[in-house]
Amino acid sequence: MPFLLRKIRKARWYSSSPSWLISGEPQADALVDLSTKNNHLSVWLIEDDKSNLERIIAALAASCEALSNFDYALLNLSDVEELKLQFQAVSGETADDIANDQWHRDLIELSARKILELADSMQTKAQFQRLNEQSITRIVKESIERKTIDDSRINLKGNSRQKVVK
């Protein structure tokens, strides 16, 4: 079963929540990671075997201004489908055109309730992962060398850019 990836900040989703928070409930701060634009939420489709995972992470990391740890959540597509959320294929805005066209999706027609249901599902069912800055630097550099990422379109600045572009 495929997955959906959403870039997050892991600290907002830690399982060791404050004592006042009901077990299994996401913190309010986690909703920042699910901010919408025009009631759409950008997500990425990850293949069953995760063969496109590093490519998508590299594309997203190259869209940042600086290289750093990269936190993300993976949720089974079936868990999202249970919520009856609608998808729309929309081109992404990274420096990897194939990733943008093949694997980017928007969850559409989202209400506040649907976002809360998604947050609840993520809190209880998602896999939260982190790639450290060294790994991110490596995969972005390799993606540029393989020309899956167009280095003229990356957003990295200063030292971060120098680390990945020759």
Report pLDDT for 164. 96
Domain residues of the chain, as ranges? 3-12+27-164
Per-block mean pLDDT, blocks of 10 residues, the chain (166 long): 94 75 82 96 98 98 97 96 96 97 98 96 94 98 97 95 91
Task: Give the integer Cα–Cα distance in Å for 94 and 83.
Answer: 28
Report pLDDT for 16. 63
Contacts of 164 (CB under 8 A, 6+ apart): 62, 67, 137, 140, 141, 144, 151, 154, 156
Specify the residue for token string 């599902």. 121
Specify the residue for token string 């009631």. 39
Query: Mind listing the pLDDT tens digit for each residue in 102-117?
Result: 999 999 999 999 999 9
